[in-house]
Structure 1
Amino acid sequence: MPSSHILRFVLSPCLAACLTAGVSLEVLAQQTRVTTAVIEEAMIVEFLDVSGSVTAPRTARLSSEVEGRIAAFPVAIGERVAADQTLLTLDAEEARFEARGAAADVDEASAELDDARRRLNEARRLRESRSIADSELNQRANAVAVAEAVLRRQTATRERWESRIDRHRLTAPFAGMITARHVEIGEWASPGAALMTLVDLNRLMLDFAVPLAWYPRLETAALEVQVPGGSQWQDAEIIARVPQEDEAARQFLMRAELETSGTLLPGMAVQGRLRVPGAEGPVVPRDALLRRPDGQVSVWLAQEEDGEWRAQQRRVEIGASHDGQTAVLEGLTAGERIVVEGNERLEDGQRLALSDS
């Protein structure tokens, strides 16, 4: 038989493996058009989604230092107030009576002191002419000392009543908004009982519950947040991380602050995203990944053999994903060509026509 009738060929390792697996030569001979991309290295970034809420660290439930009937309540719920602004006044008529009486006692003690000093000065002049005994001089000096002490005591009593009158007026310890009123005019206020709630809206915080495993990683983490009604992610500054007392929770408190928080109110829910950079490694488009029911992940590579492109499947271990890109921890190296479109029905060793070549 002529040698020209003999078909001689050598199977590549990839083709041999495909034939062993039962893949027909017809399938391998067919060219499938695919889109590929060259694997590049990039910074592998890990993300963690967290949920949190807006809190107001400066929230005060204001109460009175003295008891009394509420005489005036000049602020309303939702009203913004300035620091030291009067928020509530108690009836201080009785305290004013006591203060006026104390003031009269001060005047009386002052007059007695003036008289005692006059008598002492008179005794000193008589002492020069030896017209008064030393004992009388000492007695008048003691009378001045007693009168001075009485005046100091009466002055302190007057100041105490004046201070008590001031305490019948409740003022704002800081600027903020009145978010609750717990009493009304005419009701009786007792020391320590909450009369209203004041919230500082100028510096609101964001509190998140974060898995405890992330506690040491916050040193290099960045935080982005999305506020209710917003579509954009905003950078936020992590200002504190506080371990929880309940060890069973396996979480810790992360507190953050937005540069501008004008649209936020306490109690609002916010979404957060922690971003932790790692080492550089290969990343691939998410569409290139094929996930199997058993949890394994694989990709199709385009390998050039004898001037032709052929498909080769490879299992990989993947990491975090972001913006359509997924980090590959094991299985790929930079510079390899990966199939990103047309990878749904490929077979090992199948001929490829690259749309991007």
Structure 2
Amino acid sequence: MIRTSLSSGWPLVAAALLVSAWLVAPGAHAQERVPVIASYAELRPWSDPLEALGTLRADESVTLSATMTETVAELNFQDGEVVEAGQLLMRLEDSEEQAQLRAAQALYDERRNAFSRATQLQQRNLGTRAELEDSQARLRQAEAAIEEIQARLANHRLRAPFDGVIGFRNISAGSLVTPGTELLTLDKLDVVKLDFRVPEVYLAALQPGLRLTARTDAYPDETFSGEIANVGTRIDSVTRSVTVRAILANDDMRLRPGMLMEVVIQRRPRDTLVVPESVLVPRGERHYLFVIDEADDNRLERREVVVGERRAGEVEILEGLQAGELVVRHGVQRARDGDQVALLGIADDETAVRDILQRQRPTAAPDASAKGGA
């Protein structure tokens, strides 16, 4: 009898426990909120990138050469020296021209005195008008001779045509140079030109003043900024591309002519609504995201949006969202329309999702054995 009563009582106990679990479970589940991390939708500068490869050129560049056959008498520069416009860089031997100049100046002084005497005689009516005019012509002839010699002397002196940096010095004092001999190079590098080619289909989007960024393997961790200065007037009939020239500031002169640079042109610059790409929930060709209504105790609203361009980790929202709205960034997989969520934190440029998750981790309990040993 005892066995019969026990066996008949167990189904009742099991049923009671099952009902209790059913009654308690819905309430407990209703109180549990899905933890999420959110981000604010923000208006940010945006552009459509266009990539190209370009080559750097100096803002001004020249190779100075000799115009006569002569020996080098004086060098006033060193490799890599920064020089100013008009600075004397080199002097060729000019002793013969200097002697000719002294003789011409002596002749000029003689004829100037003769012209002065002829003028005085003319004023006293003791000289003829013809003698005065002949004396004046001889004086002008002497002046022209001096100017000719001074011009030849100027060819013996090599001066910097603009501010710049000297290249390597490959010549020494006493070297014999001939017309056309390359003596030195001079580059103006405080500003550099960046030339690159762009397919003609993008011609309508190119215009002077358009911003761009450039990178080079020589400085892999740095980005250089500039803007388009000019767009070529001709399309290459073979490559169907147009040459574009940009200007980059180079105050520290780290960029050098001939460098290969990766160029990213910022087309169609604008301010647009931007959210992290991780907030999107794709469904076929449509895109959704979850908006958190802070006024309604963090209740979720699934909303369809129209996306635009994308870039690393971010996406442009064209329709369906307003600036300042809070969207679910982490925990999207467990989010449901109409649910109320537990907001763990807001991720932004200064606070990453990983930082928020690490703060939510429970602190490890102290080791029991270590506590007992203490």
When the two structures are superposed, what TM-score results if normalisation uses the length of structure 1? 0.62
Q: 1:25 corresponds to which residue? A: none
Give the whole-Å Cα distance in 2 for the aligned partners of 1:88 and 1:256: 32
Q: Does 1:55 align with 2:57?
A: yes
For residue 161 of structure 2, what is the amino acid of its counterpart? P
Q: 2:43 corresponds to which residue? A: 42
Q: Does 1:187 align with 2:176?
A: yes
On the 8 A contact 2:43/2:272 being kept in 1, the answer is: yes
Give the whole-Å Cα distance in 2 for the aligned partners of 1:172 and 1:163: 17
Structure with the bigger RCO (C-alpha within 8 Å, sep 6+) is 1
Give the SS at the match of 1:59: strand
**Cα shift at 1:157:** 0.6
Higher alpha-carbon deviation: 161-170 or 236-245? 236-245
Give the SS at the match of 1:57: strand
Give the whole-Å Cα distance in 1 for the aligned partners of 2:119 and 2:38: 105
**Cα shift at 1:285:** 2.1
Q: 2:270 corresponds to which residue? A: 278
**Cα shift at 1:61:** 1.9
Q: 2:137 corresponds to which residue? A: 149
Give the whole-Å Cα distance in 2 for the aligned partners of 1:78 and 1:210: 31
Q: Deviations over 1:224-257 (max 9, x none)?
A: 45565364556x4526132253344434424233
Q: Deviations over 1:187-224 (max 9, x none)?
A: 2231x6542111223x2125253645265465785444
Counterpart mapping for 1:332-347 below 5 A: 332-334=320-322, 340-341=329-330
Q: 2:235 corresponds to which residue? A: 246
On the 8 A contact 1:47/1:273 being kept in 2, the answer is: no
Give the whole-Å Cα distance in 2 for the aligned partners of 1:162 and 1:280: 66
Identity %: 21
Q: 1:17 corresponds to which residue? A: none
Q: Which runs of 5+ in 1 are unaligned?
A: 1-30, 126-136
Matched length: 301
Give the whole-Å Cα distance in 1 for the aligned partners of 2:254 and 2:122: 73
- Identify which of 304, 309, 314 aligns with 1:319: 309
Q: Does 1:204 align with 2:194?
A: no
On the 8 A contact 1:299/1:339 being kept in 2, the answer is: no
For residue 249 of structure 2, what is the amino acid of its counterpart? L
For residue 87 of structure 1, what is the amino acid of its counterpart? L
Give the whole-Å Cα distance in 1 for the aligned partners of 2:223 and 2:215: 5
Give the whole-Å Cα distance in 1 for the aligned partners of 2:41 and 2:113: 97
Give the SS at the match of 1:174: coil
- Residues 80 and 257 of structure 1, relative CA distance in 2, 3 Å threshold: same
**Cα shift at 1:262:** 4.6
For residue 278 of structure 2, what is the amino acid of its counterpart? D
- Residues 66 and 319 of structure 1, relative CA distance in 2, 3 Å threshold: same
For residue 270 of structure 2, what is the amino acid of its counterpart? G
Q: Deviations over 1:141-172 (max 9, x none)?
A: 31222122112112211232133223311111
Q: 1:287 corresponds to which residue? A: 278
- Residues 241 and 34 of structure 1, relative CA distance in 2, 3 Å threshold: farther
On the 8 A contact 2:308/2:316 being kept in 1, the answer is: yes
- Identify which of 257, 265, 273 aligns with 1:266: 257
Give the whole-Å Cα distance in 1 for the aligned partners of 2:83 and 2:271: 51
On the 8 A contact 1:45/1:320 being kept in 2, the answer is: no
When the two structures are superposed, what TM-score results if normalisation uses the length of structure 2? 0.60
- Identify which of 89, 94, 97 aligns with 2:96: 94
CA RMSD across the alignment? 4.7
